């Protein structure tokens, strides 16, 4: 498993801190373009808030559309962080090391972006204060804990808090390195952030214990977040195709599928932007690809369950929804695109070792998964509402308006921008983790062959 050059600590510091200490030439143009997209979206949101949700394509039966689809999508992306950091950490997978930080940070930013969506979706964002925060103690009006819409912010905010802690704890040793490499104001800021880290044995022990504990504690939160998001739909017995018992595991696996793909793509981008060929190596992308084959196949199994048992009941109202999903324009086309892009294209590409190690092909596969997963949420949410129940009289189709499209597109720009800004301030490849992996490396002689090996701590 060991490929690449042997690097000294000095080289590692220099390479991995390059993103912070020098400004690449492409940086400001890219930030400007992303900022423009965000500005346009801010104007769109402003108009929407001013004039009302009428500017969207939502209508009487289809009360949830692009915004909620996008919300579920970004929540899904946020599942990569824990999947890679916590699970692989507990499983002691060595190849996780350079990928963890980027995954965790992507978790943070996609969670934040996701949380914007339901707020925008209500049309009058200030009223959300009534909802997420128990606002009226005097009259005893508390949020209704029976609704998944209150479970949602609870789970998401818990996840956001614990992921933030997770990121910060992993960052402390790296802050210390930064503190020692900077001067002036930056030095002082990093000094505060490093919290007096000296790298003594006790501090390392505490840091490791905190990391392992958080990994274990964050797992239930990780599973519950997307389960609860799925129950936004699963609990709605009136929308036939939503009320399916498999939704919770189906959504969680789907989230991991899209999230890990997104992380793989982000890693490829980082490698290319900052020249981290020695750290984010082909073997890491390869391992992610192999993991993704398993995740994708598990996801496909749940997809089959969902569709099959949707039709199993042979209820006319549910069959109508399925008919819309599979046969009515444009949903039939999107459905085909969805199945092909989410499963068949990427898995076929991932099956070949050479292709897993080709960064272009890997990027195509990962983008394809995320196109498909976005469509998946759309195809669950909208057709279910279009033909809700058998009141054919009020069935209506849904077409997103330009406002929805702009705002959804801007969320991608927002996450990219946040990741870029973060990478300029904090190292996106964990220095201490990579170094630790290096220290634990050894080799075993078998006959005439030298096989790479690692020391295990347990």
Partner 1 sequence: MASSAEHHQGGGHGQHAGMWVFPRREEVTSDVSGKTFAMPSVYKLALGIAAVLAALGVVGFAIRASSDGFGSPGPWGYYAAIFSFVFMVTGAAPLVACAFRFTKSHWRRPLSRVSELFAIVGVVNIVLFIPLLLAMPPIKNPDAQGTDLEVRRTLWFEVPIGAPYTWDLLCFVGLALCSVAILWLSATPDMAQARATATGFRRGLYTALAGWWYGTKRQWNHQKAGLALLGAFYFMLIIFVQFIFITEFAMSMVPFWKDSVLPPMYTVMSFQTSLGLILIVLFIMRKWGGYEGYLGKAPFWSASKILLGLTLLWTYHLFAFFITYWYGRLEVEQNILKYLFTQPYLPLFLANMLFSFLVPFLMLIWNPLRRSAWGPSLAGLSALVGALLFNLRTFAAAFNTGNHYEFALSHVPAAVLPDIWDIFMVLGGLGIVALVYLVSAKVFPLISIWEVKEGTLYQKMDTFVRGEYLVLAKPE
Partner 2 sequence: MVTSRIDHKWGMVVDLDRCNGCQACVVACQVENNLPINDKNAFLQNRAYEWIRIERYWEGDYPNIKARFIPILCQHCENAPCEPVCPVFATYRNDEGLNVQLYNRCVGTRYCINNCPYQVRFFNYWHPNWPERLQNQLNPDVTVRTRGITEKCTFCIQRLRRGQLQVERRNGGELGDSTLRAGNHMPACVQACPTNALTFGDQNDAQSPIKPYFDDVNRYNIHHESERQTRGYRMLEDMNTKPNVIYLKKVDPNKGSSGGHHG
Under rule CB under 8 A, residue 158 binds partner 2: no
**Shortest CB 141 distance to partner 2, Å:** 7
What is the C-alpha to C-alpha distance for residues 365 and 344, in angstroms, rounded to an integer?
Answer: 10
Among residues 10 and 314, whose Cβ is nearest to partner 1?
Answer: 314
Among residues 300 and 398, whose Cβ is nearest to partner 1?
Answer: 300
What is the C-alpha to C-alpha distance for residues 419 and 328, in angstroms, rounded to an integer?
Answer: 39
Please identify which residue in 122, 245, 352, 442 interacts with partner 2, judged by CB under 8 A: 122
The two structure tokens encoding residue 247: 């939704």
Considering only residues 235 to 254 of the shown chain, the ones binding partner 1 according to CB under 8 A are: 235, 237, 243-249
Under rule CB under 8 A, residue 78 binds partner 1: no
**Shortest CB 131 distance to partner 2, Å:** 5
Site string for partner 2, 344-383 (x = CB under 8 A): ----------------------------------------
Look at the block and give the residue holding tokens 């949903």.
Answer: 331
The two structure tokens encoding residue 130: 């009534």
**Shortest CB 243 distance to partner 2, Å:** 10
**Shortest CB 225 distance to partner 2, Å:** 17
Please identify which residue in 223, 340, 361, 371 interacts with partner 1, judged by CB under 8 A: 223
Among residues 35 and 316, whose Cβ is nearest to partner 2?
Answer: 316
What is the C-alpha to C-alpha distance for residues 354 and 360, in angstroms, rounded to an integer?
Answer: 11
Picked from partner 2, partner 1, none, the partner binding residue 273 (CB below 5 to 8 A depending on kind) is: none
**Shortest CB 366 distance to partner 1, Å:** 22
The two structure tokens encoding residue 446: 């078998």
**Shortest CB 312 distance to partner 2, Å:** 17
Spacing of C-alpha 114 from chain mean position: 10
Tell me which residue of 166, 177, 192, 189 sits closest to 83, measured CA to CA. Answer: 166
Considering only residues 125 to 154 of the shown chain, the ones binding partner 2 according to CB under 8 A are: 127-128, 130-131, 141, 143-144, 146-150
What is the C-alpha to C-alpha distance for residues 72 and 213, in angstroms, rounded to an integer?
Answer: 28
Three state DSSP letters for 91-136: CCCHHHHHHHHHHHHHHHHHHHHHHHHHHHHCCCHHHHHHHHCCCE
Considering only residues 386 to 405 of the shown chain, the ones binding partner 2 according to CB under 8 A are: 388-394, 396-397
What is the C-alpha to C-alpha distance for residues 212 and 121, in angstroms, rounded to an integer?
Answer: 37
Picked from partner 1, partner 2, none, the partner binding residue 23 (CB below 5 to 8 A depending on kind) is: none
Among residues 87 and 128, whose Cβ is nearest to partner 2?
Answer: 128
Which residues share a beta bridge with 141? 136
Please identify which residue in 27, 131, 204, 301 interacts with partner 1, judged by CB under 8 A: 301
Picked from partner 2, partner 1, none, the partner binding residue 437 (CB below 5 to 8 A depending on kind) is: none
Please identify which residue in 4, 35, 52, 199 interacts with partner 2, judged by CB under 8 A: 52
What is the C-alpha to C-alpha distance for residues 20 and 249, in angstroms, rounded to an integer?
Answer: 39
CB 399 within 8 A of CB 60: no
The two structure tokens encoding residue 222: 């990780």
Tell me which residue of 156, 154, 162 sits closest to 217, measured CA to CA. Answer: 162
CB 411 within 8 A of CB 87: no
What is the C-alpha to C-alpha distance for residues 351 and 276, in angstroms, rounded to an integer?
Answer: 25
Tell me which residue of 336, 351, 330 sits closest to 286, measured CA to CA. Answer: 351
Among residues 135 and 309, whose Cβ is nearest to partner 1?
Answer: 309
What is the C-alpha to C-alpha distance for residues 191 and 333, in angstroms, rounded to an integer?
Answer: 55
Picked from partner 2, partner 1, none, the partner binding residue 443 (CB below 5 to 8 A depending on kind) is: partner 1
What is the C-alpha to C-alpha distance for residues 164 and 34, in angstroms, rounded to an integer?
Answer: 24
Picked from partner 1, partner 2, none, the partner binding residue 239 (CB below 5 to 8 A depending on kind) is: partner 2
Burial of 129 (0-12, 13-18, 19+ CB in 10 A): exposed
Under rule CB under 8 A, residue 149 binds partner 1: no
Show the beta-strand stretches assigned E in 3-105: none
By CB under 8 A, how many residues form the interface with partner 1? 40
Burial of 149 (0-12, 13-18, 19+ CB in 10 A): middle
Considering only residues 260 to 299 of the shown chain, the ones binding partner 2 according to CB under 8 A are: none
CB 80 within 8 A of CB 263: yes
Under rule CB under 8 A, residue 458 binds partner 1: yes
**Shortest CB 150 distance to partner 2, Å:** 5
Please identify which residue in 5, 10, 60, 448 interacts with partner 2, judged by CB under 8 A: 60
Under rule CB under 8 A, residue 145 binds partner 1: no
Binding interface with partner 2 (CB under 8 A): 51-54, 56, 58-61, 63-64, 118, 121-124, 127-128, 130-131, 141, 143-144, 146-150, 232, 235-239, 385, 388-394, 396-397
Binding interface with partner 1 (CB under 8 A): 1, 90, 220, 223, 227, 231, 234-235, 237, 243-249, 301-302, 305-306, 308-314, 440, 442-444, 446, 451-458
């Amino acid at each position: 498993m060991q490929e690449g050059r042997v690097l000294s600590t000095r080289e590692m510091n220099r390479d991995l801190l390059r993103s912070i200490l020098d400004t690449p030439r492409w940086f400001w143009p890219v930030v400007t373009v992303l900022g423009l997209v965000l500005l346009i979206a801010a104007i769109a949101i402003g108009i929407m808030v001013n004039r009302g949700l009428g500017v969207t394509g939502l209508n009487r039966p289809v009360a949830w559309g692009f915004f909620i689809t996008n919300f579920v999508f970004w929540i899904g992306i946020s599942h990569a962080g824990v999947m890679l950091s916590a699970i692989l950490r507990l499983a002691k997978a060595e190849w996780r090391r350079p990928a963890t930080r980027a995954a965790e940070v992507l978790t943070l930013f996609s969670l934040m972006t996701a949380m914007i969506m339901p707020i925008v979706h209500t049309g009058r964002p200030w009223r959300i204060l009534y909802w997420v925060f128990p606002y009226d103690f005097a009259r005893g009006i508390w949020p209704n804990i029976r609704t998944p819409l209150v479970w949602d912010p609870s789970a998401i905010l818990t996840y956001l808090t614990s992921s933030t802690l997770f990121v910060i704890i992993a960052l402390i040793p790296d802050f210390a390195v930064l503190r020692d490499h900077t001067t002036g104001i930056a030095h002082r800021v990093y000094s505060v952030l490093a919290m007096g880290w000296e790298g003594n044995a006790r501090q390392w022990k505490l840091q490791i214990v905190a990391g392992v504990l958080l990994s274990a504690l964050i797992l239930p939160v990780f599973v519950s977040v997307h389960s609860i998001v799925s129950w936004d739909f699963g609990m709605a017995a009136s929308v036939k195709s939503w009320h399916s018992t498999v939704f919770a595991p189906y959504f969680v696996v789907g989230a991991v599928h899209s999230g890990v793909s997104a992380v793989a793509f982000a890693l490829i981008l980082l490698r290319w932007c900052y020249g981290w060929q020695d750290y984010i190596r082909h073997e890491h992308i390869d391992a992610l690809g192999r993991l993704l084959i398993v995740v994708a196949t598990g996801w496909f199994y749940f997809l089959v369950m969902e569709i099959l048992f949707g039709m199993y009941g042979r209820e006319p109202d549910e069959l109508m929804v399925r008919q819309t999903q599979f046969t009515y324009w444009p949903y039939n086309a999107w459905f085909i695109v969805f199945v092909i892009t989410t499963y068949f294209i990427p898995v076929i590409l991932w099956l070949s070792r050479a292709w897993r190690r080709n960064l272009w092909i890997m990027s195509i596969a990962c983008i394809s998964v995320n196109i498909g997963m976005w469509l998946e949420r759309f195809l669950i949410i909208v057709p279910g509402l279009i033909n809700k129940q058998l009141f054919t009289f009020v069935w209506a189709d849904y077409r997103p308006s330009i406002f929805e499209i702009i705002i959804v597109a801007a969320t991608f720009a927002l996450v990219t921008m946040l990741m870029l800004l973060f990478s300029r301030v904090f190292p996106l490849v964990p220095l201490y983790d990579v170094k630790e992996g290096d220290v634990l490396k050894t080799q075993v002689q078998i006959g005439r062959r030298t096989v790479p090996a690692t020391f295990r701590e347990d």
